[in-house]
Amino acid sequence: MIKQEYNDHLRVLPGKKIHLKDFDTGWTQIEGLKEYGKDKLKEHVNILLQQNLVELTSAQQLLYADDRYSLLIIFQAMDAAGKDGTIKHVMSGVNPQGCQVFSFKKPSDEEMNHNFLWRYMKNLPERGRIGIFNRSYYEDVLVVKVHPELLKNLPDGKRNSAFWENRYEDINTFERHLVRNGTVIIKFFLNVSKEEQKKRFMDRLMRPEKNWKFSAADLSERAYWTDYMHAYEEAIRVTNTESAPWYIIPADNKWVTRALVADIITSTLRGLELKFPKLSEAQLEMLDEARKTLEAEA
C-alpha cells in the first residue's frame, strides 16, 4: 500500500478552500519520495500498482458476495488528462460482470427534458457492483457553469451564484442519500497541467493512429482553462464531504495516476470489512443433504 500519508495528502480536507495551483500535477511535492529519483520511483510504483490490481480482483469478488454495498467511482478531468486510460488499466483485472462503466457526453433532448440528475440516477451501480462514471453530474456544475447557455428549458430565474449553490446542494443531498443506502462514493479529479495537455494534444495531432482522439472542441475548451479551474475549485470545495471525498490526483505522469487511483480504490474497499455471507443452520443442512445425495448416486 502506498503510505497512508500520501493518500491523506491527495484527499481534500472537508471544508478547506482549495487552490489547484497549490496541487502538484507531477509528483514532486511529496518530500518522502524525492530521494528515490524518477526511475526507481517508477519501478516501485509499478510494483505497487500490480499488487493493488491483484487485491482489487479479490476485493471485487467479496463486494459481490457480501452484497450490501455498491461502489461508485467518479472521474472528472480536463480533456486528455487520462480518464479513459486510467479506467482501462485500473479495471483490467476486474470481472466485467461486476463492473459497469458509463461515459456521459452532451445530454440528449430526452435527458434535457428531465432534472439534471436523472440520467446519472438511472445508471447507478447495483448492490455488490462497481459503477464507474467517466464524467458525471459534476459536469452540470463544470462545463455548464463555464457555458451557462447550455442551460435550457428551466424556469425563469437568474443563473447567479445562488443558482450554482443550489446545484451543489442538490449534489450533496443526492450523494448523502446514496451513501445512506449503501453506496460508497469515491471522486477523482485527475489534475493535469495546461502544458501537459498541450503535449498530449500535439501528440494526438501528430500521430495518425491518435488523430481520432482529437476533437475541435478540445481546443476551444482549452481557451476556458482558468474558468474551468475556478469551477473545479468551487465544486470540489463545496461537495467534498466525509462520506463522499474528493481526491486530487497528479495526472502529468500516467504511471503515477494509475497507481494512486488503484491504491485509493483498494484501500477504500479494504475499509469496508467485506465478508462472505454466513450460511444459516438450515442452509448448511441443505448443503449436507445435497452432498449425501450426490455421494449416493454412484
CB 86 within 8 A of CB 261: yes
User: Among residue numbers 207 through 246, which ones bind ligand AMP (CB under 6 A)?
Assistant: 217
Q: Which residue in the set 139, 175, 234, 263 belongs to the binding site for ligand AMP (CB under 6 A)?
A: 139
Could you tell which of Mg ion, ligand AMP, none binds residue 292, using a CB distance below 5 to 8 A set by kind?
none
Least distance from ligand AMP to the Cβ atom of residue 74, Å:
12
Residue 62: count other Cβ atoms within 10 Å of its Cβ: 16
Q: Which residue in the set 69, 104, 163, 174 belongs to the binding site for ligand AMP (CB under 6 A)?
A: 104
Q: In the numeric block, which cell numbers belong to residue 162?
A: 445562488
Alpha-carbon distances, residue 188 vs 143, 213, 242, 288 (angstroms) = 17, 22, 14, 47
Q: In b/e form, how buried is each residue of 38-52, taking b as 16+ CB within 10 angstroms?
A: eeebeeebeeebeeb
User: Among residue numbers 78 through 97, which ones bind ligand AMP (CB under 6 A)?
Assistant: 79
144: contact with ligand AMP by CB under 6 A: yes
Could you tell which of Mg ion, ligand AMP, none binds residue 6, using a CB distance below 5 to 8 A set by kind?
none
252: contact with ligand AMP by CB under 6 A: no
Q: Which residue in the set 38, 40, 106, 122 belongs to the binding site for ligand AMP (CB under 6 A)?
A: 106
249: contact with ligand AMP by CB under 6 A: no
Residue nearest to ligand AMP (CB): 139
Q: Which is nearer to ligand AMP, 54 or 217 (CB)?
A: 217
Task: Give 112's DSSP letter.
Answer: H
Dist. CA 53–CA 57, nearest whole Å: 6
Alpha-carbon distances, residue 63 vs 51, 75, 91, 115 (angstroms) = 18, 21, 15, 31
- Dump strand ranges (E) for 3-68: none
Dist. CA 215–CA 211, nearest whole Å: 9
Element containing residue 227 per DSSP (H, E): helix 225-239
Could you tell which of ligand AMP, Mg ion, none binds residue 135, using a CB distance below 5 to 8 A set by kind?
ligand AMP
Q: Which is nearer to ligand AMP, 27 or 228 (CB)?
A: 228
Least distance from ligand AMP to the Cβ atom of residue 105, Å:
4
Of the candidates 165, 162, 163, 175, the residue with the CA atom closest to the CA atom of residue 133:
175
292: contact with ligand AMP by CB under 6 A: no
Least distance from ligand AMP to the Cβ atom of residue 263, Å:
25
Q: In the numeric block, which cell numbers belong to residue 127?
A: 448492490
Q: Which is nearer to ligand AMP, 65 or 205 (CB)?
A: 205
Could you tell which of Mg ion, ligand AMP, none binds residue 139, using a CB distance below 5 to 8 A set by kind?
ligand AMP
Q: Judged by CB under 6 A, which stretch of 2-10, 14-22, 104-112, 201-209 contacts ligand AMP?
A: 104-112
How far does Cα 204 stand from its chain's mean position? 24
Give the dihedral of Cα atoms 83, 145, 264, 55; nearest 10 deg.
Answer: -50
79: contact with Mg ion by CB under 5 A: yes
Q: Which is nearer to Mg ion, 77 or 171 (CB)?
A: 77
Alpha-carbon distances, residue 261 vs 59, 60, 91 (angstroms) = 15, 15, 10
Residues that bind Mg ion (CB under 5 A): 79
Interacting residue ranges for ligand AMP, rule: CB under 6 A: 79, 104-107, 135, 139-140, 143-144, 150, 217
